[in-house]
């Protein structure tokens, strides 16, 4: 089982689709389009920022805790399903979930009480996960690391109004904070082997050679970990060379 991680617009879903097709894996995608809370959360961020700018230092985003519990519930269900069988890929997982609640609390969008309740719920879920899923952890975590500039290019390209800084200038600070949170997360993640992909250097969707490089980097890591055999790796490399001709 492979889990993907990365900031908004890093290319997690795109890489999940590529890996799923490449390895014949089942892909599990984080729900976005059917999330009724996400647009409310972005609007709540904007409202809270305006209130604090006007002097209300206690203003919070009323949807921050709701959004994180919504995601946590979905991610717990999704990873349980994925970990019951082999050869699955998730485009985001429960292992990076706390990043967002921690950051929202630090920004004042959520209260310390809400964060404590959230952490208690998350810890309970993590304790239950090995029993519920019959697997201790992912075999590999692939993190796509991108800069602010790359992230913004991809956010503009996919065109979700509530993610655009032109619509909500407070998102500039939010995105920069999120990048720093991911830098810290990479230093402390220890649930499984971690492979970092340079998303600024490799445009694996638009550039065929970059796509091959990224796929083969991940596949070689799987070989090193004993999750992919050398014969399969050789066949995949041959297919890649044919695709570049």
Instruction: Per-residue pLDDT tens, the chain, 245 aa: give them.
Output: 999 999 988 999 999 999 999 999 999 988 767 788 888 988 887 888 888 889 988 889 999 999 999 999 999 999 988 888 888 999 999 999 999 999 989 988 899 999 999 999 999 999 888 887 777 789 999 999 999 999 999 899 888 887 898 888 888 988 999 999 999 999 999 999 999 999 999 999 899 999 999 999 999 999 999 999 999 999 999 999 998 87
At 68, which CATH number? 3.40.50.300
Q: How far apart are CA 104 and CA 113, in angstroms?
A: 12
Contact 231, 195 (CB under 8 A): no
Contact criterion met (CB below 8 Å) for 185 and 178: no
Q: Does one domain contain both 24 and 38?
A: yes
Q: Are residues 139 and 177 in the same domain?
A: yes
Q: Are residues 53 and 125 in the same domain?
A: yes
Residue owning tokens 């990048």? 179
Same domain flag for 223 and 188 = no
Do 130 and 240 lie in one domain? The reply is: no
Same domain, 136 and 209: no
229 and 149 within one domain? no
Residue 21 to residue 15: CA distance in whole angstroms: 10
Query: Are residues 116 and 50 located together in one domain of the fold?
Result: yes
Quick one: 82 and 189 in the same domain? yes
Q: Which one of 34, 56, 91, 224 is the catalytic residue?
A: 91
Residue 139 to residue 227: CA distance in whole angstroms = 8
- Indicate the pTM of the whole model: 0.89
Tokens 């904070």: give the residue: 177
| 97 has catalytic annotation | no
Tallying the residues shown for the chain, one arrives at: 245
- Please give the distance of CA 137 from its chain centroid, rounded to a whole number: 16
Q: Could you give the CA distance from residue 91 to residue 75 in angstroms, rounded to a whole number?
A: 10
Q: Are residues 87 and 134 in the same domain?
A: yes
Give the Cα separation of 120 and 140 in Å (integer).
Answer: 26
- Is the Cβ–Cβ distance between 170 and 198 less than 8 Å? no
> Do 88 and 150 fall within a single domain?
yes
- Based on the domain organization, do 116 and 213 belong to the same domain? no
User: In the chain, how many domains are there?
Assistant: 2
DSSP 58: T
Question: What residue numbers bound the domain in which 137 lies?
Answer: 2-201
């Amino acid at each position: 089982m492979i889990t993907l991680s990365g900031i908004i617009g890093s290319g997690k879903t795109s890489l999940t689709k590529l890996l799923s097709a490449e390895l014949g894996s089942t892909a599990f995608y984080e729900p976005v389009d059917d999330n009724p809370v996400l647009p409310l959360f972005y609007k709540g961020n904007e409202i809270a920022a305006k209130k604090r700018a006007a002097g209300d230092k206690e203003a919070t985003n009323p949807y921050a805790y709701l959004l994180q519990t919504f995601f946590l519930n979905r991610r717990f269900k999704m990873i349980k399903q994925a970990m019951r069988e082999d050869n699955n890929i998730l485009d985001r997982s429960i292992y990076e979930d706390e990043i967002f609640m921690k950051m929202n609390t630090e920004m004042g969008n959520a209260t310390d009480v809400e964060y404590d309740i959230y952490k208690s719920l998350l810890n309970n879920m993590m304790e239950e996960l090995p029993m519920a899923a019959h697997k201790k952890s992912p075999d590999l975590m692939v993190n796509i690391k991108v800069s602010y500039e790359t992230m913004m290019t991809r956010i503009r390209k996919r065109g979700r109004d509530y993610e655009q800084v032109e619509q909500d200038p407070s998102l500039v600070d939010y995105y920069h904070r999120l990048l720093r949170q991911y830098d810290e997360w990479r230093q402390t993640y220890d649930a499984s082997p971690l492979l970092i992909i340079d998303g600024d250097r490799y445009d694996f969707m638009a550039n065929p050679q970059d796509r091959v490089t990224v796929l083969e980097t991940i596949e070689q890591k799987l070989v090193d970990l004993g999750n992919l055999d050398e014969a399969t790796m050789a066949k995949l490399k041959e297919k890649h060379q044919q695709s570049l001709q």
